[in-house]
């Protein structure tokens, strides 16, 4: 019998790519999204790539009665929770919006799963929980540090809510995946990242600059204590990241999990500098990215990358796509969006 996975925030960047991988792995999927920061074109992209007319439910996970209607309509074997706000800067100016939305929706999901007999959940966490680790690479045991933003704090708090709920309620189990920096797009170029307004993340800014939408990319600092002075990050391909969710769901559904609550880093294990990323993008896509060095961006950490040993050995997942291919896919997606030949 086919298993059904609820994907909240399934019309978003990571949610849409994960829905594709779940469908291709043979799961039934229900996409729930309030479309507050996503477009139906992503759902249509998922349908086109997979050939599956995946059900879409316009649901606000913060609206408990509305959310509950889903649980009477479908029987879920697992849920993956992506639905959340994610703009770090906005979370500083509107913290209550972030706490209410990001925590409220997750608490609603866990309450509904609990009410409907427990369940299996994957939570979308972030390397932001490590802030600037004292020792690199970061393992899952690396102590979390006080969050740099309310956004980061919602990720830490949601991890704790999941841990405590699993400890208290029999039948509930979960995995928190700590993503490093997700980039790139599906090889079909039918889905990808859809930033609203001026992108704050590096790769969408690079692709928009290459496309001529932005005049110049600001490289935030070249005086860090790193080989070329720019910050180091662990850029993880979006399709590889999506596949980690399929592996996590299978692990729990097949009873292979070692504990009812587990945490895994999802990264490549390879640090890449901002300048190296720009250079690689230019090289593989034969396109120029106009850039200049500016001041450091407040709140940025100098360097963070993953120790992926646990994900590789225990989860049996490994990042496969090369940085070059990922950056090719990011450019193909931007060109598709802008109608560039
Ligand atoms: C990467 C590097 C910048 C833009 C953030 C969130 C994190 C996560 C992913 C999200 C840094 C530099 C960037 C630019 C630049 N979660 N940069 N010029 O800050 O590592 O992580 O996004 O949902 O929680 O904090 O990612 O892509 O913004 O920056 O030089 O115009 O690129 O300084 O070194 P970050 P990023």
- Name the residue at shortest CA distance from atom 5 of ligand 1: 201
- Name the residue at shortest CA distance from atom 27 of ligand 1: 201
Q: How far apart are CA 210 and CA 333, in angstroms?
A: 12
Q: Is the CB of 126 under 6 A from ligand 1?
A: yes
Q: How many whole angstroms from its chain centre is CA 339?
A: 26
Backbone angles phi, psi at 271, to 5 degrees: -80, 135
For the question of whether the overall pTM of this predicted structure is more than 0.95, the answer is yes
Q: Is the CB of 181 under 6 A from ligand 1?
A: yes
Q: How far apart are CA 105 and CA 81, in angstroms?
A: 9
The conformation of residue 284, written as its DSSP 8-state character, comes to: H
Q: Is the CB of 302 under 6 A from ligand 1?
A: no
Q: How far apart are CA 334 and CA 268, in angstroms?
A: 23
Q: Is the CB of 219 under 6 A from ligand 1?
A: yes
Instruction: With beta carbons less than 8 A apart as the criterion, state whether 104 and 84 touch.
Output: no
The C-alpha torsion from 187 through 191 and 195 to 196, rounded to 10°, is 150
Q: Is the CB of 129 under 6 A from ligand 1?
A: no
Q: pLDDT per residue over 235-294, tens digit each? A: 999 999 999 999 999 999 999 999 999 999 999 999 999 999 999 999 999 999 999 999
Q: How far is CA 174 from CA 171, 205, 234, 278, 324, in A?
A: 10, 34, 24, 37, 33
- Name the residue at shortest CA distance from atom 18 of ligand 1: 219
- Give the active site residues: 151
Q: Which residues contact 96 (CB under 8 A, 6 or more apart)?
A: none
The C-alpha R_g of the chain, in whole angstroms, comes to 19
Backbone angles phi, psi at 174, to 5 degrees: -160, 160
Q: How far apart are CA 83 and CA 298, in angstroms?
A: 26
Q: Is the CB of 217 under 6 A from ligand 1?
A: yes
Q: How far apart are CA 175 and CA 312, in angstroms?
A: 15
Q: What is the CA(30)–ligand 1 centre distance, in A?
A: 30
Q: For residue 155, which atom of ligand 1 is closest to its CA?
A: 24
Q: How far is CA 247 from CA 39, 124, 145, 326, in A?
A: 27, 14, 28, 21
* Residue 60 CB coordination number (10 Å): 18
Question: Mutation test of ligand 1: which of 83, 88, 155, 198 has the most ligand atoms closer than 8 Å to its C-beta?
Answer: 88
Under-50 pLDDT residues of the chain: none
| DSSP-based three-state secondary structure for 30 | strand
pLDDT of 118 reads: 84
- Name the residue at shortest CA distance from atom 36 of ligand 1: 201
- Name the residue at shortest CA distance from atom 17 of ligand 1: 202
pLDDT of 40 reads: 98
Q: Is the CB of 18 under 6 A from ligand 1?
A: no
Q: Give the pair of three-digit tokens for residue 240.
A: 């590889």
Q: Which residues contact 292 (CB under 8 A, 6 or more apart)?
A: 216, 217, 218, 219
Q: How far apart are CA 15 and CA 43, in angstroms?
A: 10
Torsional sign, CA 87, 128, 194, 65 = negative
pLDDT of 341 reads: 84
Question: Mutation test of ligand 1: which of 274, 292, 323 has the most ligand atoms closer than 8 Å to its C-beta?
Answer: 274
Backbone angles phi, psi at 17, to 5 degrees: -65, -35
Question: Mutation test of ligand 1: which of 14, 154, 180, 181 has the most ligand atoms closer than 8 Å to its C-beta?
Answer: 181
């Amino acid at each position: 019998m086919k298993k059904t996975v609820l994907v909240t925030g399934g019309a978003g960047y990571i949610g849409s790519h994960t829905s594709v991988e779940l469908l291709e792995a043979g799961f039934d999927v229900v996409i729930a999204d309030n479309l507050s920061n996503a477009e139906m074109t992503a759902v249509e992209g998922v349908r086109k790539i997979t050939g599956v007319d995946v059900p879409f439910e316009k649901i606000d996970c913060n609206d408990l009665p509305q959310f509950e209607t889903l649980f009477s309509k479908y029987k879920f074997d697992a849920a993956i929770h992506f639905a959340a706000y994610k703009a770090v800067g906005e979370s500083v100016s509107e913290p209550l919006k972030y706490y209410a939305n990001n925590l409220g929706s997750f608490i609603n999901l866990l309450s509904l799963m609990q009410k409907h007999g427990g369940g299996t959940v994957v939570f979308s966490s972030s390397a932001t929980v490590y802030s600037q680790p004292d020792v690199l690479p970061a393992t899952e045991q690396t102590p979390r540090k006080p969050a740099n933003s309310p956004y980061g704090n919602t990720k830490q708090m949601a991890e704790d809510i999941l841990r405590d709920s699993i400890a208290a309620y029999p039948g509930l189990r979960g995995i928190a995946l700590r993503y490093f920096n997700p980039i790139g797009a599906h090889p079909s170029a039918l889905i990808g990242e859809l930033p609203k307004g001026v992108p704050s993340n590096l790769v969408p800014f690079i692709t928009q600059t290459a496309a001529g939408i932005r005049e110049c990319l600001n490289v935030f600092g070249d005086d860090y204590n790193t080989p070329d002075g720019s910050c180091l990050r662990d850029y993880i391909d979006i399709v590889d990241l999506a596949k980690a969710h399929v592996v996590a769901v299978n692990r729990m559904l097949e009873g292979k999990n070692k504990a009812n609550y587990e945490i895994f880093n999802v990264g490549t294990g390879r640090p890449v500098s901002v300048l190296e990323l720009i250079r690689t993008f230019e090289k593989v896509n034969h396109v120029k990215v106009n850039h200049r060095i500016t001041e450091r961006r407040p709140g940025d950490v100098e360097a963070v990358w993953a120790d992926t040993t646990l994900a590789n050995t225990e989860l049996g997942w490994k990042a496969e796509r090369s940085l070059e291919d990922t950056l090719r896919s990011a450019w193909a997606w931007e060109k598709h969006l802008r109608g560039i030949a």
